[in-house]
Chains A and B, each alone.
Chain A
Amino acid sequence: MQNKKRESKNSLSRKFRLSEFLAENTIKLVSFTSFAIIILIFVFVFREATPIFFHTEKKAVSQEFSKSESYGDESAQSSKDNYSSFSSGSEDAASFKNLTQKEWQPVSENPKYGLLPLFIGSLKATILAILFGAPLAILAAIFSALFASKRLKEIIKPAIELLASFPSVVIGFFALMTIATFFQSVFGLTYRLNAFTGGVAMAFAIIPIIYTVTEDALTAVPKYFSEASLALGATKWQTALFVIMPAATPGIFAALLLGFGRAFGETMILLMATGNAPLSSFNIFEPVRTMSATIGAEMAEVVVGDTHYTVLFFIGALLFVITFIINAIAEFYVRAKLMKRFRGE
């Protein structure tokens, strides 16, 4: 295979052809796009977030600025209309002290941009999703990879892959309408929308990815592993449990990491099903506000360039970095380990 490719490359270098040269280089250039996209995301999400690091005191807006001319109001409602004059708020730039505190109150006299509750919220919902989704997904993968008949496997695999095509907004809607009501009536929960509901709903979103990667890892274990085990007199399930599973552990670990990354960045489900209160508690039946949902809920209304705007971009940058690291670990560390093991090095 490798040789054949090399040969074809040699035959090509016999004669220089312009069209060949153009084709190859155009293709090379276009294929660079995905790398460029990653760089662009990195640059532009951080670009909008950087003002955080260079905070300047904004001068207070003088009150005389703050009244528009009114029109069509000649009949003059009493001048003491019951709206207070503009709560301009000191548009406090976010310092690190502000970012690390325990409160998220971005719209306030003195805005508090504490990211801690949001981070805890994301973590809580993600861990719950993994706790619900991972066992189901891994067990299902074990069943379809190791125990199921070929026929059955041909049903289970595509069915779970179909679950991946459920849009997260539909899962969120289902969680809001059905799951939340169900859990509240079963457990008598104080809060209808909470981390638990969001976690269960999000499990549906991560089951397909964990299932697929685990299944791949299990089927990738070389045949001679199981043949050797069976030849030594082990039963089918013993082989599965004590030979194939350990061999595929790094792959399963990768599946968990990918599921974690997916859940951590998920937006619509959490926006709809978790109640979005920025609490820093560890009670799983209390509402949570996650990083992703915060961006989704607040970005549409902020003034471009405002502190609030930059903080939201900063949260986005954090999300990007966190998922990036998790995926990189899954990619490099785990794959390398898996390879090594199978080659018996």
Chain B
Amino acid sequence: MMNNKLLGKSIVIISALAALIIISALVYILLDIYIGGKNYLTWEFLTSNPKEGMTAGGIFPAIVGTVLLVLIMSIACVPIGTITAIYLSEYASKTSIFTKMIRFAVNTLSGVPAIVFGLFGLGFFIQFIGAGMDKAMYSDGRLHWGQPNLLWASLTMAFLTVPVVIVSVEEALRTVPDELRAGGLALGATKWQTIRKIVVPNSLSGIMTGAILAIGRGAGEVAPILFTGVAYFLPQLPHKLTDQFMNLGYHIYVMATQSTDVEATKGIQYATAFILLILTFSLSFVAIIIRYRFRKKIKA
């Protein structure tokens, strides 16, 4: 019996230890990266251009590039994701093949490696759509759309983040009580009116969460944009959809592996990593809090 008790205790302790290890690793990474870059974390660093062959100066163009990327991405992925979620929770019958197909696609999509999205963006958007557009719209034989750019990178990223939006919005829609739907219908509203005026407004926070999570994901991924639009260094900010752009994640990668002076730029590398980390971290923090609050609301 004594032995049993000991065994029981040790299981609890070991499992608690595992949780502790994970959380302390998380804190350690954060601290390590913060300490490495803290001397560079100034307002100026955020708002100035890289200087002297990217061995000094700030990361402003990388921030702008990342923001533009996630903005255009969300314009594409939030509506698609939300509408799919509405279909899945409001219209779809659980047993129809169509529904099963979509569910399967959503699950599969979230498991496709990021780098495969990158290849897909190159093969589909650039080599197929872009080159096709060039052939159809221009006769000068030059490349306009058939090369890596902001639009193609954003759309590639949108495809990657659609499942994130779907899952999160669907969860929110499910928490809208059926009484509300029944109430709407009982008052003579049609199904679509009920969805538009009652169901969607009641799950706005869920849609927000979905968008925030998608943006966090999109801001941090590098592999999908490697061949679809990101650039090592650009002297000016992107000003149209066919421009290439700089990106925080890619900036970390190239600074750590391809900068002209590794030692001198170490601080910049850490600081950039810290900025990106804080960005994705706080986005997902906000999302978790929103979600936590509405989960609590439902339980109450």
Contacts and interface: CB of A to CB of B under 8 A. Distances in A.
Asked if A and B touch directly (CB within 8 angstroms), the answer is yes
A138 B283 CA distance: 26
B220 A326 contact: no
Interface stretch (B11-19, B38-46, B202-210): B11-19
Interface stretch (B49-57, B100-108, B132-140): B100-108
A163 B22 CA distance: 9
A159 B285 CA distance: 9
Interface residues of B, number: 91
Given A163-B22, A173-B269, A331-B104, A44 B120 contact: yes
B72 interface: no
B123 A143 contact: no
B185 to A, nearest CB: 6
A62 interface: no
A276 B240 CA distance: 36
B105 to A, nearest CB: 4
Contacts of A31: 83-84, 86-88, 102
Interface string A86-120: 00000000000000000000000000000000000
B105 A165 contact: no
Interface string B92-136: 010000100110111111011111111110111001100000000
A24 interface: yes
Nearest to B274: A170
Contacts of A174: 29, 32-33, 273
Contacts, number: 277
B75 interface: no
Interface residues of A, number: 96
A38 B220 CA distance: 22
A20 B119 contact: no
Given A8-B181, A45-B123, A167 B219 contact: yes
Contact of B124 (A40, A144, A170): A40
B163 A34 contact: yes
Contacts of B250: 169
Contact of A320 (B84, B113, B124, B221): B113
Contacts of B252: 169-170, 173
Interface in B177-205: 178, 181-182, 185, 190-192, 195
A313 interface: yes
B121 to A, nearest CB: 9
A156 B19 contact: yes
A320 B19 CA distance: 32
Given A162-B284, A299-B226, A323-B113, A33 B276 contact: no
A283 interface: no
Given A48-B122, A167-B222, A299-B226, 19 more contacts: A8-B185, A19-B192, A20-B191, A23-B195, A35-B104, A37-B105, A37-B159, A38-B105, A38-B112, A48-B119, A143-B18, A144-B19, A167-B277, A173-B273, A265-B114, A304-B127, A313-B123, A327-B107, A327-B111
Q: What 10 pairs between A and B have smallest CB-CB spacing?
A: A265-B113, A167-B220, A139-B18, A165-B284, A143-B15, A237-B8, A31-B87, A327-B111, A31-B84, A140-B19
Interface of B: 4, 7-8, 11-12, 14-19, 21-23, 25-26, 29, 32-33, 36, 79-80, 83-84, 86-88, 91, 93, 98, 101-102, 104-109, 111-120, 122-124, 127-128, 159, 162-163, 166, 178, 181-182, 185, 190-192, 195, 216, 219-223, 226-227, 249-250, 252-253, 256-257, 269-270, 273, 276-277, 280-281, 283-285, 288, 292
29 contacts: A12-B191, A28-B98, A30-B79, A30-B84, A34-B84, A34-B102, A34-B109, A35-B101, A37-B162, A38-B105, A38-B109, A138-B18, A140-B22, A143-B18, A163-B22, A167-B220, A169-B250, A170-B220, A173-B252, A173-B253, A177-B270, A207-B22, A267-B222, A268-B249, A295-B115, A316-B119, A319-B115, A327-B108, A331-B107
